[in-house]
């Protein structure tokens, strides 16, 4: 399934698509008991760390650092619950998905309806070179990069710099960018952004009254900085890895994009728990109706899933080096490879 030695991505037969639908169908049914346990246990741990920080604050500022990191882990897990609610897969009742989605979205600085819209576009277009730009990370092809003016090349290099991409960028995206709706969003999505901002303001007022304004702001922004960086790294490595599937729209196929354009990130069990099984991203893109608590079971339910080559923490580090998509090689490449092929590509474009 993940053999990219020939760089070929044949479209699966209709019978193959029907087979996958049958495989995932039994996992597309939310379980109220498992969902509520996940929600309340995560919220309990999240609020528990805030309680511990409250009592430690007057004693030791240094001792707060591991608690901030721990709380960031619970924030990532809350975001996965929010993410499932956006897919209407966390609980059976759509109203409860919307309510829980709004609440967990507020705790993770993300508007429910606005993000749901952007993310649905991502699912419909992932791996499609002709439909980039919504809910994804800015990725250019070699030829597109070479056609840019010098100033825009420098801007692209800056955006793809690991420090900006995984440290500065995530913080700006969740803390600042998510506070404003995009122009083409629906009226409901725009209202959701303002409602989330109001709820966040209330959350900061409550936190400020309990902890003191400055301590709460510093703690909360520290938590979001760590959580946002972890979340963006997870999203990045789910779609930017060695052997990933990208095609022009005329050759693009949804099932191939799901199984070959989304990674199986095999994390250590503790990190898998914090990330809500989202490492089984190939399964999630095959069917977004599968709740996160069933993704692992679905993966191990069918022999074909075992053919998917997993990314490990060590092997995923190579993704740090990827900068551009090379349509001729059908592969993500870094700046070193770009320097090697640049003369020939520029000559071909002249």
What's the pTM value of the predicted model, to 2 decimals?
A: 0.91
How confident is residue 228, by pLDDT bands cut at 50, 70 and 90? very high
Q: What is the pLDDT of residues 72-102, one digit of tens each?
A: 999 999 999 999 999 999 999 999 999 999 9
Q: What is the pLDDT of residues 47-64, one digit of tens each?
A: 999 999 999 999 998 999
How confident is residue 24, by pLDDT bands cut at 50, 70 and 90? confident
Q: What is the pLDDT of residues 129-165, one digit of tens each?
A: 999 878 889 999 999 999 999 999 999 999 999 999 9
How confident is residue 168, by pLDDT bands cut at 50, 70 and 90? very high
Domain ranges of the chain: 14-349
Q: What is the pLDDT of residues 290-328, one digit of tens each?
A: 999 999 999 999 887 878 889 999 999 999 999 999 999
Structure tokens at 235: 């999203």
What is the per-residue pLDDT for 17? 56
């Amino acid at each position: 399934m993940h053999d990219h030695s020939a760089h070929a991505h044949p479209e699966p037969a209709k019978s193959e698509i029907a087979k996958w639908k049958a495989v995932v169908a039994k996992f597309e049914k939310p379980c109220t008991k498992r969902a509520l346990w996940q929600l309340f246990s995560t919220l309990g741990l999240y609020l528990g760390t805030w309680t511990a920080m409250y009592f430690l604050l007057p004693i030791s500022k240094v001792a707060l650092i591991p608690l901030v990191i721990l709380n960031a882990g619970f924030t990532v897990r809350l975001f996965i619950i929010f993410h499932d609610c956006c897919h209407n897969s966390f609980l059976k009742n759509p109203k409860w998905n919307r309510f829980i989605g709004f609440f967990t979205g507020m705790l993770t600085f993300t508007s429910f309806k606005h993000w749901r819209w952007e993310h649905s576009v991502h699912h419909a277009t992932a791996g499609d070179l002709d439909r980039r730009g919504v809910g994804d990370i800015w990725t250019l092809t070699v030829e597109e990069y070479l056609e840019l003016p010098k100033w825009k090349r420098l801007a692209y290099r800056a955006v793809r710099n690991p420090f900006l991409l995984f440290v500065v960028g995530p913080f700006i995206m969740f803390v600042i960018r998510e506070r404003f709706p995009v122009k083409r969003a629906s009226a409901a999505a725009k209202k959701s952004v303002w409602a989330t901002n109001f709820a966040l303001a209330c959350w900061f007022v409550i936190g400020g009254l309990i902890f003191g304004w400055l301590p709460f702001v510093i703690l909360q922004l520290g938590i979001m900085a760590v959580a946002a960086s972890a979340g963006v790294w997870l999203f990045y490595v789910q779609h930017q890895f060695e052997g990933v599937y990208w095609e022009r729209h005329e050759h693009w196929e949804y099932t191939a994009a799901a199984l070959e354009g989304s990674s199986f990130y095999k994390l250590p069990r503790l990190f898998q728990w914090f990330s809500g099984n989202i490492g089984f991203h190939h399964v999630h893109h095959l069917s977004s109706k599968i709740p996160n608590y069933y993704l692992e079971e679905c993966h191990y339910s069918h022999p074909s899933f075992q053919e998917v080559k997993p990314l490990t923490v060590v092997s995923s580090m190579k993704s740090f080096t990827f900068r551009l998509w090379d349509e001729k090689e059908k592969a993500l490449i870094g700046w070193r490879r770009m320097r090697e092929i640049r003369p020939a590509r520029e000559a071909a474009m002249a």
